[in-house]
Amino acid sequence: MRATILLKNCSWVITMNPREPIIKGASIYVEDGIPSVVKDRVEADIVINGKGKAVLPGLINAHTHAPMSLFRGLAEDLPLERWLREKIWPLEAKLKPRDCYVGARLSILEMLKTGTVGFVDMYWFSREILKAATEAGIRALITYGMLDLGDAERRERSLKDAKEFIEYGRKLGEERVGVGLGPHAPYTCSREMLEAVRDLADKEKVPIHIHVAETRHEQAEFEKKYGMREVEYLAKIGFLGEDVSIAHGVWLTRREIRELAEYDVKVVHCPISNLKVAVGGIAPVVEMIKSGVSVALGTDGAASNNSLDMFETMKIAALLQKHHHWNPAILNATTVLSMTIHGGSRILGRDMRIDGEAKCDIVTLDLRRPHMTPVHSGETLINHMVYSSRGSDVREVIIDGQLVVYNGKVLTMVEEEVLKEAQDTAEDIIRR
């Protein structure tokens, strides 16, 4: 039984509940992971002063590669091909399981401190990432990274390992941390592999996460080789479904967007990574939303971002669409906040809103800061969330009813230890 928590006299509550989206002046009582708005006096095991703070459902980072934080800042300002071939792939070839644990802990520390309550991951040594997430008390979907580049032996080994990973995760039995399959992309996984992944996902009832239509070059090469576009191809081979989330989705046609909507495929927009990698275009976020596609936001790995602050990602997501459409009104702050919270939580299999009924992870933000001043109204507070606030404004994080961050400090990890381990490990990888 978790301790009950009272966030007392919060200045503002953003519920993300359409019935009463914003409440001025209220306390939030959390029991069994369910936050309720309370106006009377309530007793609780833990009481936290909410004065000068805003409470809202936590943010979801729906696409990242957590261990890549070890490569932060290491390989910059290079063309994508050279970045991968000369820097990232040689580094990844040196990685040991323990490195991925250490790197995942570094990323989880950053995410928790910046108000991210859950993340979707795809990388190597997934058990280590799973372990790091489980220990830290964050919500996560850890998908098992796999690719075969047409090599049958590699494919079989990947599929066998992925199956074992799913069993391992199930045995761990931590409801907060789900497991899934992470075939890298349609251009790095053979048709046989994608079909086998689809079968395995159906059999094991686990979600799939995959990169799709990220760069202009990839799009052109794929069409040349397969005679069709990536989403068309995935639809044709029976890969798509409501359990599939695709990262990026930059190079999509209207027809492909309709297909994504039809199959209820979730899309994770990663605006900062897209700019940094120079994918050559801007994802059709507005068009996807209009067509009924559920869109989430992600940071991508720290090597291509380089931070994991979802407040920053929200701002840039909103601004890029305004720019792209020559229209400042095209995508408003409420929609972007909803993408981040609801779009992301749909991939994690849990809807997030403060309604006194559902489980919901929540965060508090300090409003007594110059960039959050003045607050004119509840509506303008939503604008602050997207356009002014940043991860460093986060004071508390409560995940599944557990107080994980208090007054900006992560309670489930020794911060200095995580930073030191990460520095030492990064130096060690370079030396190897």
Restricting to residues 175-214, name those near its own copies by CB under 8 A.
none
Near its own copies in 111-130, by CB under 8 A: 113
Choosing from 27, 61, 143, 274, the residue that interacts with its own copies (CB under 8 A) is 274
- Residue 152: exposed, middle, or buried by beta-carbon count in 10 A (0-12, 13-18, 19+)? exposed
Could you give the CA distance from residue 71 to residue 122 in angstroms, rounded to a whole number? 16
Q: Name the minimum Å distance from CB 252 to its own copies.
A: 18
CA 405, distance to chain mean position in Å, is 18
381 contacts its own copies (rule: CB under 8 A): yes
Phi, psi of 429 (to 5 degrees): -60, -45
- Is-contact 321 290, C-beta < 8 A? no
The encoded tokens of residue 90 equal 């040689």
Choosing from 1, 173, 416, 431, the residue that interacts with its own copies (CB under 8 A) is 416
In 3-state terms, what secondary structure has residue 431? helix
Q: Are strands 59-64 and 116-123 parallel, antiparallel or unpaired?
A: parallel
Judged by CB under 8 A, the number of residues near its own copies is 73
Beta bridge partners of 121: 64, 142
Q: Name the minimum Å distance from CB 302 to its own copies.
A: 8
320 contacts its own copies (rule: CB under 8 A): yes
Choosing from 8, 65, 72, 353, the residue that interacts with its own copies (CB under 8 A) is 72
Q: Site map for its own copies, 386-405, x if CB under 8 A?
A: -xx-xxx-------------
Nearest to 14 by CA among 360, 403, 402, 344: 360
| Nearest to its own copies of 69, 245 (CB atom) | 69
How many helices (H) and strands (E) the chain has is answered by 16, 17
**Other residues' Cβ atoms within 10 Å of the Cβ of residue 127:** 19
| Nearest to its own copies of 77, 153 (CB atom) | 77
Q: Name the minimum Å distance from CB 186 to its own copies.
A: 22
The encoded tokens of residue 166 equal 């799913």
DSSP summary character for residue 325: T
Q: Site map for its own copies, 342-371, x if CB under 8 A?
A: --------------------------xxxx
Near its own copies in 276-295, by CB under 8 A: 276-280, 282
Near its own copies in 325-344, by CB under 8 A: 325-329, 331-333
| Nearest to its own copies of 100, 265 (CB atom) | 100
Nearest to 206 by CA among 122, 147, 273: 122
412 contacts its own copies (rule: CB under 8 A): no
Q: Name the minimum Å distance from CB 26 to its own copies.
A: 19
- Is-contact 88 75, C-beta < 8 A? yes
Q: Name the minimum Å distance from CB 195 to its own copies.
A: 34
384 contacts its own copies (rule: CB under 8 A): yes
Q: What is the CA radius of gyration of the chain?
A: 21
Q: Site map for its own copies, 228-267, x if CB under 8 A?
A: ----------------------------------------
